[in-house]
Amino acid sequence: MFSEPEPGSDVASVRTRAVCDGDEWVLSGQKVWTTNDHLGKIGILLARSDPSVPKHRGLSMFLIELDSPGVEIRPIHQIDGGMEFDEIFLDGLRLPSEALLGSAGDGWQVASAMMLFQRIARGTSNIGEVAHEFYDRLIALKSPALDEPVNRDMMVQLYIAEVTQSLLALRTRAAMDATGAPGPGGSLTKLICAQVESQFAHLAYQLSGARAQAWSREAAEGGALTQAAIYTLSRSIAGGTREIQRNIIGDRVLGLPRETDIVKDVPFDRL
């Protein structure tokens, strides 16, 4: 439970409050785009425990039981017919002190470590060898549109991008195995994963024709492909947007100057 309606990609600007009350913490606020909360039992939640310090320093991480009083979960109905994400409302949720994950004020460090692993997972998932599954899937359509030179050129570009993604994913995993921890290079695999899926989606629409505009989830041909193409939109957002990944790559991989942050040292309650 990181994302909130107002901060967007700026995770450090979360507004959900965690107030210490004796041996308990009292949480109030709203989260959104949390995956499968309506199916889970335990959630990991980032909240602001000290608004008097700069935004990165006043955060804490908590483990919460999702069926607790004060937690309301509302599934979000998606355009592809699925229901994978939720918005969560916290109204006076009381947690024991042992629900704190790590120490109070260490939430940003915990969240950053989690996101590094998440980006590695998203960028390298299901890749155990050099593969080009999207290319193979589109070739199997045997669409007449594959005879068009522009589409054939885009198919070759997709093939090259998928092979490149596979090689990068294998190298990233090997580096993590060697060091025992993910590095900022995970943002590169996450970024190229989103790019490959965007190329796949564009080609899926091109090759499916009218079936890409009017479909049902049950359709044997066209429906499942279009559903997969629509789902790729989430890849460019989940785990950090493309813009966030490019900033991380520029800063921590290429060593470029960081963007100026004029509020970095300003207490959160003064922003």
Please write down the HEC assignment for all residues of 119-149: HHHHHHCCCCCCCCHHHHHHHCCCCHHHHCH
DSSP tag of 252: I
Q: Is the pTM of this model over 0.85?
A: no
Which one-letter amino acid corresponds to residue 203?
A: L
User: Which of 80, 105, 130 finishes a domain?
Assistant: 105
What average pLDDT does this structure show over 145-172?
Answer: 91
H helices of the chain, where?
107-124, 133-139, 149-179, 186-208, 223-231, 242-248
Residue-wise burial string across 111-127, b where 16 or more C-beta atoms lie within 10 A, e elsewhere: beebbbebbbebbbeeb
Would you say residue 260 lies in a domain? no
Residues 6 or more apart from 271 whose CB is under 8 A from it?
A: 13, 55, 263
Q: For residue 129, how far is the Cα from the chain centroid?
A: 23
Query: Which residues span the domain enclosing 63?
Result: 11-105
178 and 215 housed in the same domain: yes
- pLDDT of residue 9 exceeding 90: no
Reading the block at residue 148, the tokens are 């068009």
Q: Quick one: 22 and 53 in the same domain?
A: yes
Alpha-carbon span 56 to 265, nearest angstrom: 9
Residue 36: strand, helix, or coil: coil
Q: What CATH number does residue 21 fall under?
A: 2.40.110.10
Domain with residue 172: its CATH number is 1.20.140.10
117 with 213, same domain: the answer is yes
Tokens read off for 21: 């009350």
Percent of the chain surpassing pLDDT 90? 44
Alpha-carbon distance values, 139 to 93, 132, 146, 210, 263 (Å): 52, 11, 8, 18, 51
Q: Number of folded domains in the chain?
A: 2
- Number of Cβ within 10 Å of residue 230's Cβ equals 19
Least confident of 58-62, 164-168, 181-185: 181-185
Predicted confidence at residue 136, as pLDDT, reads 93
Question: Do 188 and 67 belong together in one domain?
Answer: no
Same domain, 74 and 160: no
Same-domain check for residues 130 and 232: yes
Do 92 and 129 fall within a single domain?
no
Confidence of residue 217 (pLDDT cuts 50, 70, 90): low
Together in a domain, 116 and 49: no
Nearest alpha-carbon partner for 120 in 216, 185, 194, 215: 185
DSSP-assigned beta bridge partners for residue 93: 27
Residues 50 and 184 in one domain: no
pLDDT in tens, 228-269: 787 788 777 877 788 888 988 898 889 999 888 888 889 999
Helix, strand, coil share (%) of the chain residues, nearest 5:
45, 20, 35
Non-local CB neighbours of 85 within 8 Å, separated by 6+ positions: 32, 33, 34, 35, 36, 75, 76, 78
- The last residue of one of the domains, among 89, 105, 121, is 105
Per the domain annotation, does 259 fall within a domain? Answer: no
Residue 97 has a pLDDT of: 94
**Do 116 and 96 have their domain in common?**
no
Which of 59, 75, 105 is the last residue before a domain boundary? Answer: 105
pLDDT in tens, 223-237: 677 777 877 887 778
Is residue 83 located within the same domain as residue 66? yes
> Are residues 244 and 213 located together in one domain of the fold?
yes
Terminal-residue alpha carbon distance, the chain: 23
Phi, psi angles (nearest 5°) of residue 192:
-70, -30
